[in-house]
Amino acid sequence: MRKVSITRLHYRRTVDRSSRIYIAGHRGLVGSAIWRHLKAEGFTDIIGATSAELDLRDRAGVFDFMRENQPDVVIDAAARVGGIQANDTFSADFLSDNLQIQVNVMDAANDIDVDRLLFLGSSCIYPKYAEQPIKESSLLTGVLEPTNDAYAIAKIAGIMQVQASRKQYGRHWISAMPTNLYGPGDNFHPEHSHVLPALLRRIHEAKVNDDAEVVIWGSGTPRREFLHVDDLAKASLFLLENYDDPQTINVGVGEDLSIRELATMVAETVGYRGELTQDTSKPDGTPQKLLDVTRLRELGWAATTGLRDGVANTYDWYLENLEALRKK
């Protein structure tokens, strides 16, 4: 097996641009952004497999893929994801599928002695009423948000597997927990998407249909933080080259806004002038979820995409891909 070239300088690990990088979930929102960024950074041997080519829930298939391809570095960006409604409705599927995916990928990586792996989780791992902004040390200190606790438990198990592999096998594996993500390639499904793409689609369609109002789930008061997926892609490579610690690390922007403020921003971007109304019979979810990104900033990295610019960029992508998205 080829070994990744690593140069040690002030705790920095430079991944050789000829190293073979396997991105699990390379067609998804996160994985595709990481693929684009690694290509731009000069990596020449990036590999992936579509879900039709490799079902990551198929343990034997994942082991065969890893043994055949022998990646030097693994980035696990694969997951079954969705918004509040999808998580709450299909909680058993979210738990089972995500546990199988990450266990298979990590066990197979251990099987071929992969020394460097990045596991990407979600900020939903933290307690519903965690002190804000949320520090990494808040993990497992309180109850989870019940609408997505199954998904959260799966991701917590992934962090534990990273830590256990470091301890048992001496791996240099790491995990990172991004805040709410958005950007080109997002899921704009009317029922199963996250809040930002869901708002973009619904408000765009209201503008096209000349609807007088758009109804938004919940009170509009919960506060959320949003990170452009291209910033996460940059952070992922930065962490692979600058971070080596068993504790997970937060990836975010360090500021948030209310769902109502987000909806207003989306309406302004889309050019919708109708009324935004709140359906308070729908769940709000966690009241606030702002990550403390002090540790990441101390390493020397910070997000650069402003939310308003990022929303405009995402809306442009949505318009360019509207015909394909209508079929989903």
Looking at the annotation, which residues are catalytic?
151
- Euclidean distance between the first and final Cα of the chain, in Å? 41
- Residue-wise burial string across 279-316, b where 16 or more C-beta atoms lie within 10 A, e elsewhere: eeeeebbbebbbbbbeebeeeebebebebeebbbbbbe
| Cα atoms found within 13 Å of the Cα of residue 114, Cβ hemisphere only | 30
For residue 28, which phi and psi values (nearest 5 degrees)? -80, 180
Residue 42: burial class (beta carbons within 10 Å; 0-12, 13-18, 19+) = exposed
Binding residues: 25-31, 120-123, 155, 178-181, 194, 202, 217, 224, 284
Q: Which residues are annotated as a binding site for NADP(+)?
A: 25-31, 120-123, 155, 178-181, 194
What is the distance between the alpha carbons of residues 199 and 167, in angstroms, rounded to a whole number? 43
Cβ-defined contacts of 37-42 (< 8 Å, 24+): 37/230, 37/233, 37/234, 37/236, 37/237, 38/233, 38/237, 41/17, 41/237, 42/17
Q: What is the DSSP letter of 291?
A: B
Furthest C-alpha separation in the chain: 62
Strand partners, 76: 24, 119
- Show binding-site residues for substrate: 202, 217, 224, 284
**Distance in angstroms (rounded) separating the CA atoms of residues 294 and 143:** 24
> Alpha-carbon distance 249 to 149, whole Å?
20
Asked whether the beta carbons of 48 and 27 are under 8 A apart, the reply is yes
